[in-house]
Structure 1
Amino acid sequence: MTIERRLARAEITLTRDYPASVDRVWDAFADEKQKLGWWGGGSTMEARDWAFDFRVGGRDIAEGKFHNGPVSRYEATYTDIVEHNRIVTTYDMWLDGIHTSTSVASLEFDPTEEGTRFTHVEHGVFFDQFYADSDVREKGTRGLLQALGNYLASGT
């Protein structure tokens, strides 16, 4: 089978208001135990590989197998961290061992009267047969932000 070589680019912007302080939302990203409480795994995925190194230049890895589905692998490098303000990463995704995309993502934490306005902006390049996956990526990111909201609401 010949793979058609092509690229697609997409920008995703998602904003959520969480009824939790910036410190609380920030810690859900910056503290490994807390991040494990909402990122990946759970009822939809069997966790496999995990690494957490929250510092500029540090790398995160999250790999898991969707039940009755493919293996997803996420590898990120932190390029900028301003405590309680922003996190910037570059990251790559693989699906069943095939490199599907490279992205730059910025995460912003802004205080509001009710808690925190969280903004995720991502610029992605999707490769070859995965050129149309930006919709899938946005759905996955929406799912992660919902999981974060559920985690924050649980008070754990």
Structure 2
Amino acid sequence: MTTGRRLARSGFTLSRDYPAPIERVWDAFADEAEKLSWWGAGDAFEETREWAFDFRVGGIDIAEAKFHNGPVSRYVATYTDIVQHNRIVTTYDMWLDGEHMSTSVASLEFDPVDGGTSFTHTEHGVFFDRFWEDGVGREQGTKGLIEALGRYLTTGSR
């Protein structure tokens, strides 16, 4: 085996109920202005370097930014399936300071419930080389996004 060349697989499912109608939760992902209002780490970034938003099957989203006193993170996602108010499926790649970190498949499910929307994020990722132990960090980062979405839906801000 080549030293330092490894693969690791990680998967997780996170669910949360939001006290907002399904259309409102959906729009937080499907409308660019809405997504820009909550997506990412907010003040943790000192500079956004690239942003692209193309919400359609085959469309590509890009989010690249530099953390304060830290690395440049690059996210590139392709939408593979979209069913309005029901599900979004993407494949995406992450880079850290130009080094390919991971490839993932993520499904986002939206279900109406009494008083709002049940949201479920399920992800399966492959982590490369020195990032092979980063699956736990990805789950924590996704929890942070889900919390940011919750704050946005209830207060209109991060």
Q: Scaled by the length of structure 2, what TM-score is found? A: 0.95
Q: Tell me which residue corresponds to 1:71.
A: 72
Counterpart in the other structure of 2:103:
102
Specify the code of the residue in structure 2 equivalent to 1:56. V
State the percentage of identical aligned residues: 72
How many residues end up aligned between the 2 structures? Answer: 155
Q: How does 1:50-69 map to 2 (within 5 A)?
A: 50-69=51-70
Amino acid at match of 2:33: K
Distance 1:72 1:112 in 2: 35
Aligned partners of 2:41 and 2:128: how far apart in 1? 25
Output the aligned Cα RMSD.
1.2
Aligned equivalents of 2:3 and 2:122: distance in 1? 30
Deviation of 1:3 after TM superposition, in Å, equals 5.5
Measure the CA separation in 1 of the matches of 2:104 and 2:88.
Answer: 14
Does residue 35 of structure 1 match 2:40? Answer: no
CA–CA distance in 1 between the matches of 2:128 and 2:60? 22
Query: 1:2-151 maps to which residues of 2 (within 5 A)?
Result: 4-46=4-46, 47-151=48-152
- 1:66 Cα deviation after fit: 1.1
Superposed displacement of residue 129, structure 1: 0.5
TM-score w.r.t. structure 1 length?
A: 0.96
Unaligned runs of 5+ in 2: none
User: In the alignment, is the contact (CA less than 8 A) between 1:3 and 1:129 conserved in 2?
Assistant: no
Runs of 4+ off more than 6 Å? none
Deviations 1:27-61 (A, max 9, x none): 00000000000012521113221000000000000
